[in-house]
Amino acid sequence: MHQQRKHFNHFAGPYLDRNAWEREDAGWLESARRDATTRYLVARGTAHLVVHEPAPHVVFLGGDHPRIALVQERQTVLLGWFEGARCVLVEDDADEDIAPSGARFEELRPLSATLPEREAALLAYARALSIWRARHRFCGACGAPTVPLRAGHVLGCSNPDCGQQLFPRIDPAVIVLVTDGERALLGRQASWPKDRYSTIAGFVEPGESIEDAVAREVQEETGIEVDEVNYQSSQPWPFPSSLMLGFHARAASSEIVRRDGELEDARWFSRSEIAAGYPLLSPRTSISWRLLETWFDAGWHTPLAQIG
């Protein structure tokens, strides 16, 4: 039974039954082929088959598609059971057009806000696995080619004298909304759209706790000291393979000093400024939006989601 939680961040939630024990079956692909209900999610690089009419959604191929019959096990990953049906990722490297009428291969990022949430989450999962597999085709210890194990979720070194096993890479990153009660600390990068500001974020470094990473990133990027660091929620972020760990933190200082040059600007914003439409905030599919929304709604008469 899935745990019932009030909210799920985009790309998260009970969208899939992973049934990880099924990966131990050496004959898993044969079982998938025999199952007429198996759905095949096709990827070319990090793009997936989608259609836009009558509304954007993912296109799955059936086992009777000619291309699926030619797929080798090294090209496949057992994702789990999606909407009750076995779901297999197929990394297709052929040149011919296999897309059904009206379908085409597209990247997830521009689609993420328009696809059904469960389908967007499935593509995020598949995308992260494809990137990891593409970047670990060879053993980092001896240089020998790797081979897929456990239904594609492990890559093993083909050199029997080495035997390294590689597991999917996830990069932990912290993202934090710092407030002084009435104001929120937001920053912007030069490459972002005009007037967009967001919460402070950065990767966790070796030898550091996530709480230490929160304090360090905020101090490095804005010069602000923080205390009362409180975990809020997390979000898988497959661009390319991060797990965003979201926090609220209280500011222990107020003077902004940009130290590392990562941000073009950083400043304090009141709820009234945000309610008036400035600055431009991160997309509502981001955990940055969720962190800001939670703080904003606790002190304003109109929910942030109803503004703008």
172-229 pLDDT, tens digit per residue, is 999 999 999 899 999 999 999 999 999 999 999 999 999 999 999 999 999 999 999 9
Give the model confidence (pLDDT) of 114-132 as tens digits: 999 999 999 999 999 999 9
What average pLDDT does this structure show over 252-260? Answer: 92
Structure tokens at 178: 């710092």
Residue 15 maps to a domain = yes
Q: Are 259 and 224 in contact (CB under 8 A)?
A: no
Do 231 and 264 reside in the same domain of the chain? yes
Q: Which two tokens stand for residue 142?
A: 């001896």
* 223 neighbors 252 (Cβ within 8 angstroms): no
pLDDT band at 290 (very low <50, low <70, confident <90, very high): very high
- Is 306 inside any structural domain? no
Select from 89, 124, 159 the last residue of a domain.
Answer: 124
Q: Is the pLDDT of residue 4 over 50?
A: no
Instruction: Say what the pTM is.
Output: 0.92
Q: Are residues 143 and 234 in the same domain?
A: no
Contact 46, 111 (CB under 8 A): no
Is 243 part of any domain?
A: yes
Does 91 score more than 80 pLDDT? yes
Percent of the chain at pLDDT > 70 equals 97
The mean per-residue pLDDT over the stretch 32-51 comes to 96
Q: What pLDDT score was predicted for residue 52? A: 93
In terms of domains, do 250 and 192 share one?
yes
- Confidence band for 1, pLDDT divided at 50, 70 and 90: very low
For 280, half-sphere exposure in the C-beta direction (CA atoms, 13 angstrom radius) is: 8
Structure tokens of 278? 């400035």
| Terminal Cα distance for the chain, rounded | 38
When divided into structural domains, the chain yields a total of 3
Residues 198, 281 share a domain: yes
Which residues constitute the domain of residue 155? Answer: 136-169
Mean pLDDT of all residues belonging to the chain = 94
